[in-house]
Amino acid sequence: MLPKELISSQAIARRVNELSKDIDSKLPAGPLTVVGVLRGAFMFMADLVRGIPRQQLTCDFLGVRSYGDATVSSGVVEITSDLASPIEGRHVLLIEDIADTGLTLKYLQELLLARKPASLHTCVLLAKPTLPPSIKIDFVGFEAPSAFVVGYGLDAAQLYRNLPYIGAIESTKA
Catalytic machinery residues: 100
Instruction: Work out the angle at residue 33's Cα, subtended by the Cα atoms of residues 89 and 9, and round it to the nearest 5 degrees.
Output: 155
Backbone angles phi, psi at 113, to 5 degrees: -60, -35
CB atoms inside a 10 Å sphere around CB 119: 12
Report, in this order, helix, strand and coil percent for the chain, each rounded to 5. Answer: 20, 35, 45
- Region class of 75: left (phi > 0), else alpha (psi between -120 and 50), else beta: left
CB neighbour class for 135 (10 Å; exposed up to 12, middle 13-18, buried from 19): middle
